[in-house]
Structure 1
Amino acid sequence: MRKTKLRLGLFVAPFHPLDENPTLCLDRDLQLAEYADDLGIEEYWFGEHHSGGYEISASPELMIAAAAQRTTRIKLGTGVVSLPYHNPFNTAQRIAQLDHLTKGRLMFGAGPGLLTADAHMRGQDARESRDKLGQGLEVITRLLRGETVTEKSSWYDLQDAHCHLLPAQRDLEVCVASLFSPNGGTLAAKYNGGMLCLAATSPDGFDTLSANWQVACEAARKLGREMDPSVIRCATDMHIAETRDQAMDQVRKGFEVNQRYFLNQSGHLPDSPAHYTLEHLMERGEAVIGTPDDAIEQIRRLEEKVPGFGCLLLFDKNWSSMQHKKESLEMMMRYVLPAINGDNDSRVRSFDWQHEHREPFFGRMMEGAQRAIEKHAKEQAEDAAKK
């Protein structure tokens, strides 16, 4: 039995093909947030990208502000704000305001920025991004705590900077992107935050999952704290249906369209994942296209790496139609999470207990019915005798 129930979330970069209406694409991302909210999914993350044509959300904050008006319960996260691209003072101000607009449902996810092209357009050296992530996060968390910061670096100059509006939440959750390097785990421990493991089921990411978690735990212990595995989010590609054949049919075309984006970036490399087929990704354990049982098996694999991890994040890459996507998510909530969390364990015990005692229980029921029949007959006879 898990100490903390596994949560389900969606990670929406988003990925949208070049031949679709971009306005409708963005609106569909918001519609999906509404559906996730109604279904009981607990987290929804929006990304930040600026090049490549597919991942067309330049501001997770704007998407969250719009989603907040359409939802009431689901937590909304920046997945992630690429901190080196922004003045940390401006980022802190936006995050504080956004927490109020979501009525305290915001999760602040931060990262170095994944696309080198994004850094190039800003005249930045992408090799410095991880150092800048640490710098920016230090300043932003101080500002969100209400501190005044005077600090100058190669990319910002703050003088008496402070947030005149603080977040609605006293303990706004901070999450740090974690892929292969130990940097994310170290920063998560430093700021008592969560980890967004965005390569959790890729071979390299899966192999380093335990190591990065241990890095975070050790860093936290040095600070006199303990890391809680419930703050870890493991992201993966997953689509389920009644049968594996149905699931494959539902995603194959969308997968092939989506692969064009990755071929555009890394197709020149002979070992690039952009060359992989859907079957290859499934064989590697990187993606699950199948049934609820297949999804459960994948989650168990992740639990072996980080027992009790908190949230399974499903990448939304628009491999399937909106209808099939909704059906897959419904099956995740109906069948997969209850199996992982043991939601029906007590019901099963009661079912089995009733089965074990069915003979005496049924016998007593029949005895009770017979007594009632005999009592009624006796009363009828007594009434007749009185007449």
Structure 2
Amino acid sequence: MSRLRFGMFTAPFHPVPQNPTLALERDLELIQYLDRLGFDEAWVGEHHSGGFECIASPELFIAAAAQVTKHIRLGTGVTSIPYHNPLQVADRWVQLDHMTRGRAMFGAGPGALASDCYMMGIEVANTRRMMEEGLEAIHHLLYDDSPLTMKTDWFHLKEATLNFRPYSEQVDLAFASISSPAGPRLAGKYGGGVLSLSATSAVGRDVLGGHFGVWEQRAADFGNVADRSRWRLVAPVHIAETREKAFENVRYGIERWVEYFTSVVALQFTPETRDAEAFAHELVDSGFAVIGTPDDMVALVERLQEDTGGFGAFLVMANDWADREHTMKSYELMAKYVFPHFQGQADRAVRSNRWCQDNYQDFISIAGDAVLAAIESHEKEEAIKGRVSTNADAAADAVRWAGKNQDA
């Protein structure tokens, strides 16, 4: 399997009330910053109610982000398929694929908020069926040149085709999964990946292995392969230089996050307390989140690797637990210390440093001998000319002192 990738998954979660213009601008700046730090991926959600999750069109946001980033890949996290006509979804995805020159990724899901469905007159019980129907149409439109006529109880396509094919030979599709097997089933059918959005919750941990089994079996049924490198796991993380600092940082905003997830959205974790600080410790003690150090994040990722048998990308669930300064610092610490642990960028530097330390005495002796030889050569040259070398003895003594001092 290829090297472990790191990314960010943002709903986003911005407490109300605040200026939505500034919130969107900060989200864009964050992705620019992650691009500079070397994050591999950023996924952006679609939501239409609740106030906190303020991006309604991840495709629009990705189009803007693509213009101010260079390397990071950008995904819809996710496009809620039942909310849209499949032809329009396929058209937007193909356009984004061209505009980003293949950097766009396309996450699909049934929709996360019952309140969104309510406003659109959609029965939540029907969303997974609608997602499957929509994806059947989308997949045909992406890869089949023949016109599509398809009628369901929520859309009707007549001889539908796209203006052009995707930029990428194979569009990077990923399917959202929490507890239902719907996402892994679709990933197997369409040769896509899986976005495990609650991998560290009790429910998420219990079904991870089973979901891979479903994905693998369905992939085999349709002549595809369940590729672990396309499995992405999501978990909330905030790190600092010490655990104490990390917990101090999250006092800034975790209370509002707790309120949102206990009064608006159903969190895949049942808290025993409504006290924000106690809740933060409960999140960590349960294994749901990391609020700690780079070493704590390393331990979480290693635990997930062991639990799952391997996956392709770890995505940090973005939040406003800490203020902007400490949030940015947290991402910097990830890139500085966590990435190299799993990706091996620093391995050669570490080995080189250790080798130089192990052989330090030999190298300092060789270097000192070379300096002394140069001093002696200079003294002989000066003596032939009848001159006395100035400060030569002092320089030689300094070199000898340095060697003796290191020996000690």
Same fold (TM over 0.5): yes
2: CA distance, partners of 1:269 / 1:74: 29
5 Å matches for 1:1-387? 3-147=1-145, 148-265=147-264, 271=270, 275=274, 277-384=279-386
Asked whether the 8 Å contact 1:146–1:163 carries over to 2, the reply is no
Cα drift, residue 281 of structure 1: 0.5
Bigger mean CA deviation after superposition, 332-341 or 141-150? 141-150
Q: Is the 8 A contact 1:238 1:314 kept in 2?
A: yes
Q: Which amino acid aligns with 1:210?
A: G
Match of 1:167, SS? Answer: coil
Q: Whole-Å Cα distance in 1 between the matches of residues 261 and 32 of structure 2? A: 29
Distance 1:143 1:96 in 2: 10
Report the CA distance between 1:274 and its aligned residue.
Answer: 8.4
Q: In structure 2, what is the Cα distance between the partners aligned to 1:35 and 1:358?
A: 39
Alpha carbons of 1:353 and 1:99: their partners in 2 closer, same or farther (altered >3 Å)?
Answer: same
Contact between 2:150 and 2:156, CA under 8 Å: does it hold in 1?
yes
1:259 deviates by: 1.6
Task: Summarize deviations over 1:14-50 as a string: whole Å, max 9, x none.
Answer: 1122221122212221121222222222211111112
State the alpha-carbon separation in 2 of the partners of residues 267 and 111 from structure 1. 17
Whole-angstrom CA distance in 2 between matches of 1:318 and 1:342: 30
Give, in whole Å, the separation in 1 of the partners of 2:270 and 2:282: 13
Identity over the aligned pairs, expressed in percent? 43
With structure 1 as the length reference, what TM-score do the two structures score? 0.92
Alignment RMSD: 2.3
SS for the counterpart of 2:252 is: helix
Number of aligned residue pairs: 383
**CA distance 1:236–1:179, change in 2 (3 Å):** same
* Maintained 8 Å contact 1:196/1:232: yes
AA of the residue aligned to 2:176? A
Q: Deviations over 1:197-224 (max 9, x none)?
A: 1001111102222221232223323444
Amino acid at match of 1:256: E
Could you tell me which amino acid in structure 2 is paired with residue 100 of structure 1?
A: H
Q: SS where residue 166 of structure 1 aligns?
A: coil
Contact 1:197 1:235 in 2 (8 A): yes
What is the distance in 2 between the residues matched to 1:353 and 1:187?
50
For residue 378 of structure 1, report the CA deviation from its aligned partner: 3.6
**Residues 31, 268 of structure 1: alpha-carbon distance in 2 compared, 3 angstrom cutoff:** closer
Q: 1:297 to 1:92 in 2, by over 3 A?
A: same
Tell me how far 1:116 sits from its aligned partner: 1.5
CA–CA separation in structure 1 for the residues paired with 2:116 and 2:244? 38
CA contact (8 A) 2:11 2:53 kept: yes
- Partners of 1:162 and 1:357 in 2: how far apart? 68
Deviation per residue, 1:47-88 (Å, 9 max, x gap): 111222221222111211222232232211111011111111
- Alignment deviations for residues 98-129 of structure 1 (CA, whole Å, 9 cap, x no partner): 22232322101100111112222222221121
Gaps of 5+ in 2: 388-408
Is 2:201–2:269's contact at 8 Å kept on the other side of the alignment?
Answer: no
CA deviation string 1:227-249 (max 9, x = no partner): 32221111111011111111111
The equivalent residue for 2:392 is: none
* TM-score when normalising by structure 2: 0.87
Indicate the structure (1 or 2) with the bigger Cα radius of gyration: 2
